[in-house]
Homo-oligomer: A and B are copies of this chain.
Amino acid sequence: MILPKEISYEVKKESTKFQVFYFSFHGLGACPRALLCFGGEGIQWENKLTTMEKWPQDKTTTPTGYVPVLIETDLKTNTTIEIPESLAMERYLAAKFGLLGDNAREQTLNDIFYAQAVMLNTKFVDKVFWTFEEVRVKSLNQLLESTLPDWVKLCEKHLMENGNTGHFVDNKFTLADIKTAVVLDTFLGLDSEKVLGPISSPGLWKLKETVDTHPVYAAWRKSEEYKIFDSETQASVGTLMSFNLSKSHIFT
Contact = CB atoms under 8 A, between A and B. Distances in A.
A112 interface: yes
A111 B85 contact: yes
B85 A115 contact: yes
Interface residues of A, number: 46
Contacts of A134: 134-135
Interface in A1-25: 1-5, 7-9
A65 to B, nearest CB: 7
Interface string A98-119: 0000001101110110011011
Number of copies: 2
Interface in A50-72: 64-65
A3 B109 contact: yes
Interface of A: 1-5, 7-9, 64-65, 83-88, 91-92, 95, 104-105, 107-109, 111-112, 115-116, 118-119, 122-123, 126-127, 131-132, 134-135, 138-139, 150, 154, 157-158, 161-162
Contact of A104 (B1, B9, B118, B158): B9
A104 B83 CA distance: 12
B92 A104 contact: yes
